[in-house]
């Protein structure tokens, strides 16, 4: 197989990695760990979702967040103009396309995603 072919293989949740002690075992980066947590909690019902295929942008763009909620006063005081809660930091976090993508089975398994923009082609 070529390197491109290997990179195109859909990484399956639960794959066990060996040879990188002490990091042997299941491997998640931050965004895929959160998606795996959501999956384990039943957020995606019976959809086939591979958490390891999700990027940070995919995580905040999926349509699972309640848009109208009573933000705690400390969130409003920190920044009254955003729909999420950012309490700390010198810079305001921005999330283009926040909460805008419906989740579907096998999401992100066949979609190109290249840093730093992680452009999402039509149909993905």
Q: What is the DSSP string of 46-104?
A: T----GGG--HHHHHHBS-S-SS----HHHHHH-TTSSS---S-SS----TTTT-B---
Residue 13's nearest CA partner among 124, 106, 104 is: 106
**Residues 56-100: pLDDT tens digits?**
888 999 999 988 889 999 999 999 988 889 998 889 889 988 999
Task: Return the pLDDT at 53.
Answer: 86
Residues 35 and 72: their CA atoms lie apart, in Å, by 25
Annotated domain spans of the chain: 1-64+99-124
| pTM score | 0.77
Residue in the structure block whose two tokens are 């700390």: 88
């Amino acid at each position: 197989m070529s390197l491109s072919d290997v990179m195109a293989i859909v990484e399956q949740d639960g794959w066990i990695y060996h040879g990188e002690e002490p990091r042997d075992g299941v491997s998640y980066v931050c965004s895929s760990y959160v998606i795996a947590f959501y999956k384990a909690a039943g957020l995606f019902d019976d959809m086939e979702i591979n958490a390891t295929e999700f990027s940070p942008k995919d995580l905040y763009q999926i349509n699972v967040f309640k848009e109208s909620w009573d933000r705690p006063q400390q969130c409003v005081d920190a920044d009254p103009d955003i729909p999420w809660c950012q309490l700390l930091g010198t810079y305001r976090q921005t999330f283009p396309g926040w909460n805008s993508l419906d989740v579907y089975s096998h999401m992100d398994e066949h979609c190109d995603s290249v840093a730093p923009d992680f452009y999402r082609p039509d149909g993905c």
